[in-house]
Amino acid sequence: MTYTSTPEVQEMKARVCALHAELLRWGLVTWTSGNVSGRVPGTDLIVIKPSGVSYDDLAPELMVVTDLDGKILEGDLAPSSDAESHNEVYRRMPETGGVVHTHSPYATAWAARAEPIPCVLTAMADEFGGEIPLGPFALIGSDAIGKGIVETLRGHRSPAVIMQNHGVFTIGKDPKSAVKAAVMTEDVARTVHISRQLGEPVPIPQADVDRLYDRYQNVYGQQPAPKEQ
């Protein structure tokens, strides 16, 4: 089948490109160590950062478009070396519309200790519905990273996983949601880390975690405005 680009693909290239600035703004990345991807809605087309291009030099036209098997359909540069891990998530979690990977420092410090981040903040119950789980150790370049992400996040409320000795992967309904999850992961990783310096953080009872999560996911925020007649 021949590939033809669409305005939706071009729009996703612009969105994914722009979201990399958020990784910098929130202090989640160093040099070229993080990446964002997005699925063009209703398709199996993935837009991802090119490998090794610094964030200042990114431009929409440099974004790489691939199919779910990683075949390049648009772009002159190689995709991020993490593309196969992103694609494994898109293949096996079809509801996913965005994936983010970072080595953000506080969350990655938890990963270095192979420790999930316990749910000790109401903001964690809201966003993650519990702890931020730990995924397995996996060598870079193998398909084990993608499999480890999927096996950890499937059936889990959390949109974030910290992969042992490595860093953070987050998912979302679109790339912006996945970036938000990456920002929130680093924020709570830092707070819980600081809390642990002077004692043992107090867990939130599961029933309260469930209530907070339900309220935040279903009630909190702007409700859709009633339709005008």
Q: List, by residue number, the catalytic residues.
A: 101, 103, 126, 166, 220
Our CB check for Zn ion shows the closer of 145 and 188 to be 145
Q: Which stretch binds Zn ion (CB under 5 A): 6-14, 167-175, 183-191, 202-210?
A: 167-175
29-68: which residues touch Zn ion (CB under 5 A)? none
The count of chain residues that interact with Zn ion, using the rule CB under 5 A, is 1
- Exposed, middle or buried: residue 27 (CB in 10 Å: 0-12, 13-18, 19+)? middle
Q: How many other β-carbons are positioned within 10 Å of the β-carbon of residue 47?
A: 28
| CB-based closest residue to Zn ion | 167
Question: What DSSP string describes 86-124?
Answer: HHHHHHH-TT--EEEEE--HHHHHHHHTT-PBP--SHHH
Considering only the C-alpha atoms of the chain, give the largest distance between any 2 of them, rounded to a whole number of Å. Answer: 61
Q: How many CA atoms lie within 13 A of 128 on its CB side?
A: 29
Whether residue 92 contacts residue 45, with contact meaning beta carbons closer than 8 Å, is answered with: no
Phi, psi dihedrals of residue 199, rounded to the nearest 5°:
160, -165
Candidate ranges 15-23, 122-130, 150-158, 162-170; the one touching Zn ion (CB under 5 A): 162-170
Shortest reach from residue 172's CB to Zn ion, in Å? 18
- At its nearest, how many Å lie between Zn ion and the CB of residue 93? 19
| Binding span for Zn ion by CB under 5 A among 38-46, 111-119, 161-169, 189-197 | 161-169
Can you read off the two tokens belonging to residue 118?
A: 């316990």
Using the minimum distance from each CB to Zn ion, give the nearer residue, 167 or 175.
167
CB of 12 or CB of 28, closer to Zn ion: 28
Task: Tell me whether residue 135 or residue 167 sits nearer to Zn ion (CB atom).
Answer: 167
**Residues lying near Zn ion in the complex (CB under 5 A):** 167
